Chains A and B, each alone.
Chain A
């Protein structure tokens, strides 16, 4: 998806922090945060869904807030801290949310899962003991077209109690 306007090719220096690492790169005005993460930094965990802010699949955390990276111009992420799914655990040492998603079989096609996990992490950071209703609200901006919402809610609830050490 290419955005275009007359001076879209004008160049800017973008300094920002992604998953704890500082980056400085030259971006063009039209580049979206999503493009920079996927194509420049090769962080392919963030997926592109509708590109219009309707599905929430491309969500990342920007200064601790969930945003749709398809609707953020890269240059607007200047001086911000971005967290993508790559910051959360590895295959060998998964994040408790990831373990819980696997345990509950909460991933079907998997396409929405990076965003679901980031939205859930954002919730648990602020509210370690959410109700099911609060979990539903937290993931309400992300569409799962496999419609596997119940297992996702179950997984987040389990991860929350794991993380509280219960």
Chain B
């Protein structure tokens, strides 16, 4: 195990040792994967001492979350106000307290699997990730970063340092819903996050982003065609029915030992409706239809 003294040392080490190196934050994902022989590292680099990457900050209209921020720290951060309570919703459904205390935001993103509860939310918020190497840094959209199951756009000499997104303003809201066998310590059958921006004067949808996990691509994805059908329209009963059909047509959810695709699709539609109803209620102050 290599324990870097600071960021410069870490980036230098990663640049000279590019193969067989796995990064570990607090281990809630990597240790299991080593046990299952899914990864066979040569060296493990311990990031847990780099406390400068544990932060949640608001700068102008942007919220920045350091990669080593734990789910528990994120949920209890004063920056996460009632408008951004979606992160607290995720946190309460994220493993149990002993997982929330160690699992990190950066780890959740880099794990890039469909069991990561944070990913639908970051997709719905259209978050970006900042990557750093010895030679500089780059900023990527989270969709571009997540290339496939356990596959991310991260070079061997790079690390993910933070995720950033536009803060929600008074006309935007975001909600998260998850269904699994239990409330805690469970991998979701399906989970969804919806971010809605409403033109409050006309009542029309200014913008909407809908993300699901457990889709057949094995990573969380956005339902972009459904988003298109909703954009610019008022949230009437008829529009919502059309959206539900669009969602049924678009969603390609996976079947596995947990539940069937049919069940998953049905639940996904229900979770989407709950999420959008909650966004609407937050923004307008009364319930949808």
Chain A residues with a Cβ under 8 A of chain B: 1, 3-7, 10, 12, 29, 32, 51-56, 59, 65-68, 70-73, 75-76, 119, 137-138, 140-143
Could you say which residues of chain A place their CB within 8 Å of the CB of B44? 5, 29, 73
Q: Separation in Å of the B6 CB from the closest CB of chain A?
A: 16
Could you say which residues of chain B place their CB within 8 Å of the CB of A1? 35
B183 in contact with A140 (CB, 8 Å): yes
A119 in contact with B97 (CB, 8 Å): yes
Closest to A79 in B: B49
Please report the number of residue pairs spanning A and B whose Cβ atoms sit closer than 8 angstroms: 99
Is B245 located at the chain interface by the 8 A CB criterion? no
Could you say which residues of chain B place their CB within 8 Å of the CB of A59? 98
Closest to B40 in A: A5
8 examples of A-B residue contacts, CB within 8 angstroms: A4-B34, A5-B41, A6-B42, A12-B1, A53-B98, A67-B102, A73-B46, A138-B97
Is B111 located at the chain interface by the 8 A CB criterion? no
Could you say which residues of chain A place their CB within 8 Å of the CB of B3? 12, 75
Q: Identify A3's interface contact among B20, B35, B102, B185, CB under 8 A.
A: B35
Is B205 located at the chain interface by the 8 A CB criterion? no
**Chain-A contact segment, one of B21-29, B119-127, B153-161, B211-219:** B21-29
CA distance A6 to B17 in the complex (A): 14
CA distance A71 to B103 in the complex (A): 10
Could you say which residues of chain B place their CB within 8 Å of the CB of A119? 97-98
Could you say which residues of chain A place their CB within 8 Å of the CB of B1? 7, 10, 12, 29, 73, 75
Could you say which residues of chain A place their CB within 8 Å of the CB of B255? none
Could you say which residues of chain B place their CB within 8 Å of the CB of A29? 1, 44
CA distance A12 to B101 in the complex (A): 25
8 A Cβ contacts from B221-235 to A: none
Closest 3 CB pairs of A and B: A141-B96, A140-B184, A6-B42
Closest to B182 in A: A140
8 A Cβ contacts from B79-125 to A: 92, 95-99, 101-102
Is B239 located at the chain interface by the 8 A CB criterion? no
Q: Separation in Å of the A79 CB from the closest CB of chain B?
A: 9
8 A Cβ contacts from B147-188 to A: 183-185
Q: Separation in Å of the A4 CB from the closest CB of chain B?
A: 7
8 A Cβ contacts from B1-56 to A: 1, 3, 20, 22, 24, 26-28, 31-32, 34-35, 40-44, 46, 48
A72 in contact with B26 (CB, 8 Å): yes
| Given contacts A29-B1, A56-B185, A68 and B97 within 8 Å (CB-CB) | no
B98 in contact with A68 (CB, 8 Å): yes
Could you say which residues of chain A place their CB within 8 Å of the CB of B95? 53, 141
Could you say which residues of chain A place their CB within 8 Å of the CB of B99? 53, 68, 141
A5 in contact with B96 (CB, 8 Å): no
A141 in contact with B97 (CB, 8 Å): yes
A72 in contact with B102 (CB, 8 Å): yes
CA distance A10 to B92 in the complex (A): 38
CA distance A140 to B102 in the complex (A): 16
Q: Identify A140's interface contact among B26, B72, B96, CB under 8 A.
A: B96
Closest to B101 in A: A65
A6 in contact with B41 (CB, 8 Å): yes
Q: Separation in Å of the A124 CB from the closest CB of chain B?
A: 14
